[in-house]
Amino acid sequence: MFGLMQDWPLLMHKVLDHAAIQHPGREIISRSVEGPFHHTNYHDVRLRALRVSQRLQRDGIKLGDRIATLAWNTWRHVEAWYGITGIGALYHTVNPRLFPDQIAWILNHAGSRVLMLDLTFIPLIQQLAPKLEHIERFIILTDGAHLPETGLRNAVAYEDWLAEADGDFAWASFDERTAAGLCYTSGTTGDPKGVVYSHRSNILHALACNQVDCLGLGVADRVMPVVPMFHANGWSLPISAPMAGATLILPGAKLDGASVHEIITLARVNFSAAVPTVWMMLLQHMEATNTRIDTLKRVVIGGSACPAPITQTYQEKYGVRVIHAWGMTEMSPVGTTYQRKPEISGLDAEAALALQAKQGCPPFTVEMKITDDEGRDLPWNGEVFGRLKVRGPAIARNYFRHEDEAVLDEDGFFDTGDVATIDANGFMEVTDRSKDVIKSGGEWISSIALENAAVGYPGVAEAAVVAMHDPKWDERPLMILVMKPGAAAPDLAAMNTFLADKVAKWWLPDDLVVVDEIPHTATGKILKTKLRETFKDHRPKG
């Protein structure tokens, strides 16, 4: 027997309809790529998104077609997402920070028919255009007055293109499992992989994010995603903010400390989200200029582990609550956040901070477990670490154009590639990525734990730990350091004395090298594949 409730498909446009009906005047404030601040609201953005749908349809775009965006966070990008999905096409966000060849590869693999791009990216795309096999038209996200001569195929200014539609249009209707978005992982191992979100997964994920112990947005919030919409679905904020009726503030192309500070102050942002680097840059700016951010009350920090000193400074000096979050492109992306469970009340300040450094607990819709290499469940005691696996309605089950390759285990769990512990209260802590963990004598050593401890050594700017081959133990840790300008580098003995009370004795590195620079990925993570390649023949002296 089925329930007797209405069949109301979970479609992206329902979110924008709700925002426009219930919160029509709620603002969307953007720093435009052209320069000045731009103000609009949910009512107007909905009308323009309908015109995007209408205009795309007139260009022959159909259900299932991919429309790529190479764009900063602005109102136009938000309209594009809803306009594209409004006729059942997919927004395909492209990360401009990838290598140009990788961008071309991704656009070709996706088969995107249209590319919407910001003015910033015209030179990049002029260089790549001859290689882009499927793009029929380039829409530059600006008006006619700002459009330069580009030489790109069928190039048109977005505003001119949009003006050709009157908005007398209705959203298309289709199954809620229809694909809505496509985002490629950064491909640090092999070719990038396409993750395909559905309307249903996007809506369920945004509802999950809006639970009070997850991101928990509300009508009174003034939300600024600094995290770009091209990075893992913009952490759901372009969907969860309108769903909640929150004011949306979009920082455009300027993401340096001074610009982020300026927009927080001018637009009275009280909630924001970004990777740790952004929050470090803002701290440096405030310390250098002796300024504050008094409107800001909550920040989500994720994408990489958030170091405890950052959390402590924001919370104690600036009164901003830090929500440490973990997730990945394949998870739409939010997987866990720090939750103030009653079980942890009464912790002293130091213990509470240590707990916040963990990656946290999943919201409803995310299930997780840790297993050994054979797939056997491991205990939740905060000490044993294993492969972290996840399951839920907004988690990938296959990759685009690789639908035949199974990626889930027999119980339907997805292996995140992270290695983690889970404690008795359900708090997960990432100890490594599985390909980075050091397997010494059959036991695992966490490279992240060694790196986090090593950066506490005076004068160390950055630390990376990779495995080097060892005939007896199979692998042993090699520590690679970058020193701050003018600082004296420690030798192995000095470092190991420093680390002795911080990690297990058998974890201590067997060798240490100092370099000028450690390579990073396009999303700011240490590029361990490159380090392993560079140091593949490295053996400890003597």
User: In the complex, which residues of this chain contact ligand ADP (CB under 6 A)?
Assistant: 185-186, 188, 232, 302-305, 324-329, 333, 359, 416-418, 430, 433, 523, 525
Catalytic site residue 439?
yes
In the bound complex, what is the minimum distance in angstroms from residue 184's beta carbon to ligand ADP? 8
Can you tell me the distance from the alpha carbon of 479 to that of 465, in angstroms, rounded to the nearest whole number?
Answer: 5
Cα distance between residue 365 and residue 207, in whole Å: 10
The catalytic position among 444, 451, 475, 528 is 444
Residue type at 395?
I
CB of 328 to ligand ADP, least distance (A): 3
The verdict on whether 330 is a catalytic residue reads: yes
Q: Are 320 and 333 in contact (CB under 8 A)?
A: no
Q: Considering the complex, state which of residue 72 and residue 326 has its C-beta at the smaller distance from ligand ADP.
A: 326
Minimum distance from residue 30 beta carbon to ligand ADP (Å): 24
Choose among 166, 167, 164, 152: nearest CA to 116: 152
304 or 371: CB nearest ligand ADP = 304
- Write down the least CB distance from residue 530 to ligand ADP, Å: 14
> What are the C-alpha distances in Å from 345 to residues 99, 352, 372?
46, 9, 32
DSSP-H helix ranges across 39-99: 42-58, 75-85
Task: With residue 218 as reference, give the H or E element that holds it.
Answer: none
Instruction: Check 254, 341, 439, 530 and give the catalytic one.
Output: 439
Per-residue burial over 79-110, b = 16 or more CB atoms within 10 Å of its CB, e = otherwise: bbbbbbbbbbbbbbbbbbebeeebbbbbbebb
> 């997780």: which residue's tokens?
368
Q: Which is nearer to ligand ADP, 42 or 326 (CB)?
A: 326
Q: Which helix (H) or strand (E) holds 274?
A: strand 271-274
**Which residue in the list 74, 178, 185, 247 is annotated as catalytic?**
185
Tell me which of 330, 429, 451, 475 is the catalytic residue.
Answer: 330
Give whichever of 41 and 95 is closer to ligand ADP, judged by the CB atom.
Answer: 95
* Distance from C-alpha of 436 to C-alpha of 418, rounded to nearest angstrom: 9
Q: How far is the CB of 188 from ligand ADP (least distance, A)?
A: 6
We find the least distance from the C-beta atom of residue 67 to ligand ADP, in angstroms, to be: 21
CB closer to ligand ADP out of 259 and 359: 359
Least distance from ligand ADP to the Cβ atom of residue 133, Å: 24
- Report the alpha-carbon distance of residue 533 to residue 275 in Å, rounded: 27
Nearer to ligand ADP, 261 or 389 (CB): 389
Nearer to ligand ADP, 198 or 416 (CB): 416
Task: Judge contact between 298 and 270, C-beta under 8 A.
Answer: yes
Q: Beta-carbon neighbour count of residue 1 at 10 Å?
A: 3
Dihedral sign of CA atoms 425, 426, 427, 431 in order: positive
Q: Which residues pair with residue 371 across a beta bridge?
A: 377, 387
Give the whole-angstrom CA distance, residue 148 versus residue 120. Answer: 11
Q: Both tokens of residue 75?
A: 């109102």
Which residues are the active-site residues? 185, 330, 439, 444
